[in-house]
Amino acid sequence: MSKRNNRSSVCIVIPTYNEKENLMKLIPEIEEVAKQSNLPITILIVDDASPDGTAKAAEDLSERYGNISVLRRLGKLGIGSAYKDGFKRALEIGCDIVVEMDADLSHNPKHLPNLIDEIHRGNDLVIGSRYVPGGSVPGWPFKRRFTSKSANFYAKTLLGLDAKDVTSGYRAFKASSLLKADYSTVRSEGYMFQVEMVHRFKEKGLKIFEIPIEFIDRRVGESKLGLDEISKFATGVFGIFLKRLF
């Protein structure tokens, strides 16, 4: 592992909706990894008015740790807009590196140092990938594996992307590169948001790198993957494909 530049401030953006129970487990794990790895982090919770009190729980955790901010939104506005609002806040407070991760315990904080190290090595976007050597999805049934790999193949083929896991939501960005990619104009939601961001970075000639991660399916709460999400994904990818042609 390369020597980490500890002067680079890191903002971890975590969108939430009814993730109180998961967040109470996740935050201490992130804080422990940051402490052991000497990472200067800010955690930004972007909450869409969770009725289970997620935002209040995050504010209570902030009193304990001192490096947590909560961005309360007025309703369930979508994960794409949540990330954009989170990125905007991270840039406003001057963070050098922005990390996005889910609150559902599927993204292990142990991978954070490697994601950040690869930004320091000169990459603009580092993806925590399930599909590069060393990556894994333990416990996934065949149907879930097939759906995920098919979605990646479909997006990569139509959009000419080189990354193996373009739908992964565990990734790190060089803050200045988010501006170069004009992230604020991305309109996609759901898994399409992740794909369009990769597409933007490639179109701008920015450096994309993948590191292997172990992805653990959510243990508490409901999965966001359904037929409606799959349909929107397929339509969204095809829309960007048409824009590339015309």
Q: Which two tokens stand for residue 99?
A: 């990390």
| Confidence (pLDDT) at 38 | 95
Q: Are 220 and 105 in contact (CB under 8 A)?
A: yes
Which of 71, 100, 80 is closest to 11 using CA atoms? 100
- Sorted by where each starts, the structural domains of the chain and their CATH numbers stand as 10-245 (3.90.550.10)
Name every residue whose Cβ is closer than 8 Å to that of residue 98 and which is 6 or more positions away in sequence. 10, 11, 13, 86, 87, 90, 91, 172, 173, 175, 178
Spatial distance between the Cα atoms of 64 and 52, rounded to a whole number of angstroms: 20
Q: Are 12 and 99 in contact (CB under 8 A)?
A: yes
| Confidence (pLDDT) at 98 | 98
**Backbone torsions φ then ψ of 45, nearest 5 degrees:** -90, 120
| Confidence (pLDDT) at 223 | 52
**Strands 41-47, 68-72: parallel, antiparallel or unpaired by DSSP?**
parallel
Spatial distance between the Cα atoms of 3 and 103, rounded to a whole number of angstroms: 28
- Count of CB atoms situated within 10 Å of the CB of 211: 20
Which of 145, 17, 166 is closest to 78 using CA atoms? 17
- Put simply, whether the predicted model's pTM sits higher than 0.85 gets the answer yes
Residues of the chain with pLDDT under 70: 1-7, 218-226
| Confidence (pLDDT) at 224 | 55
Beta bridge partners of 100: 13, 171
| Confidence (pLDDT) at 55 | 97
| Confidence (pLDDT) at 6 | 46
Name every residue whose Cβ is closer than 8 Å to that of residue 207 and which is 6 or more positions away in sequence. 122, 123, 124, 125
The per-residue pLDDT for range 125-181, each reduced to its tens digit, is 999 999 999 999 998 899 989 999 999 999 999 999 999 999 999 999 999 999 999
| Confidence (pLDDT) at 8 | 72
Amino acid at 32: E
Nearest 5 degrees, angle CA 220-CA 221-CA 227?
A: 130
Spatial distance between the Cα atoms of 164 and 246, rounded to a whole number of angstroms: 26
Which of 147, 148, 142 is closest to 129 using CA atoms? 148
| Confidence (pLDDT) at 218 | 58
* Arithmetic mean of pLDDT over the chain: 91
